[in-house]
Structure 1
Amino acid sequence: MRLQRHVCRARGCPRSAVHCRRIGVSLIEALWVLAIVAVLGGWAYALGYGWWAEFSLTQTAQRLYSDLLWARSMAIQSGQKITVCPLPSSERCDGHSTWSEGWQVIMDHSRDHNNPGYRILRQAPAVPAHVGVVANSPVSRYIAISPDGVARMHHGAFQAGTLTVCRRDRAAMGVRLVLNAAGRWRWEEIPQFHCPSGR
């Protein structure tokens, strides 16, 4: 009792106080605080990651779409064949890599007797790890654009197909780029699409 009174007087408690209010937090209160911080932290991380993942997917789709439109414009302006294909690949775009590894835009001078060969005009790096670019068979290896703006296969047939930018980690909104027979591209947003594994 003497010790309690001494402590109370040292802390400025009234002399008539029988009990002194304890200062600090109990173990249960500390655990409650930690639990709340953990829940809020997990929620903030999930929200931030979801925003970043959606943003990077859109950025990837916009860059690919921009490069494809630019390649068609360059083919028409230069009067040369322009090819877009995945990286890593040779200048002839005869590799077997996927679009998720990046892509390149190449001008084909092989028919120019004064300046034969190939020239790389643009290159894009590999897409983020959680993003994939899936191509169907007609455009899986290359997209060859003639000087008239029409995409054609190497054997001369019209080239049409789709490139889909999607999430690898879960089903979410994706972007499908559609190439028609006239060589024009169309942007389509698709809900709840999940990239196939390995793409």
Structure 2
Amino acid sequence: MMRQDANGFTLIELMVTLVVMAVLMGIGVPSFQRLQQSTRTATAFNLLTTSMALARMAAVKQRAPVSVCPSSDGRHCRGDTVWDDGWIVFADPTRAKQPASAEAVLQRFDSVGAGVALRSTAGRSLVRFYPSGMAYGSNLSVRLCSKKDSTHLGSIIVNNAGRPRSERNHGTPCPFAP
């Protein structure tokens, strides 16, 4: 009789393969999580800075005030300083602090991700740009912090002249509890 060879893996080969996969996953997953956090932070910085610049340009172009505020539903402004759930850019010709209609909303953004907390300056939940491009009142700062380790990632600042800019922070503690 002829002996037939069995094709496949032995138990030892299977165990070695599983150990190698476990080691690679242990190394790769934390790196991937850091990459996700970095991407969320960059996205939040870029989107919010772009929204502020868009609102300023729209106010100049339309010759009427345009506001940016935090919004959880994409139609109404929140009354607090929490920007985590998103924000809206809207035409605000009557300075009502709320969009007059759904058509008044020029741009809408949803949450930027679960790992990032965004908070604006106390008492300043809305920034309004006037036809001159100015944003009168105190400077608005929206701070980005990591919810995981309460690290201050940076800020988006709008000065009285209406110029938005961003600052990156690395490793400093968050100025609020996310």
Q: TM-score range by the shorter chain?
A: 0.7 to 0.9
Higher relative contact order, structure no. (Cα contacts within 8 Å, ≥ 6 residues apart): 2
Aligned partners of 1:101 and 1:127 also within 8 Å:
yes
Cross-structure match for 2:68? 84
The list of structure 1 runs, each at least 4 consecutive aligned residues, that deviate by more than 2 angstroms after superposition, is 23-26, 29-37, 88-97, 170-173, 193-197
Q: Distance in 2 between matches of 1:47 and 1:168?
A: 17
* Cα distance per residue 1:86-130 (max 9 Å; x no partner): 11379774623611111011112328xxxxx45111111022011
Residues 27-38 of structure 1 mapped to structure 2, 5 A cutoff: 34-38=18-22
Q: Cα–Cα, structure 1 residues 159 and 173, in superposed 2: closer, same or farther, change >3 Å?
A: closer
**TM-score when scaled to structure 2?**
0.78
Which of 131, 152, 155 matches 1:147? 131
Which of 131, 137, 158 matches 1:179? 158
Identity of aligned residues (%): 22
* Cα distance per residue 1:54-88 (max 9 Å; x no partner): 11210121001100011011111111011111113
Equivalenced residue count is 168
Aligned partners of 2:81 and 2:119 also within 8 Å:
no
Structure 2 residue 40 is the aligned partner of structure 1 residue 61: no
Q: Distance in 1 between matches of 2:81 and 2:35?
A: 29
- Over aligned residues, Cα RMSD in angstroms? 3.1
Q: Which has the larger radius of gyration?
A: 1
Cross-structure match for 2:88? 104
Aligned partners of 2:74 and 2:88 also within 8 Å:
no
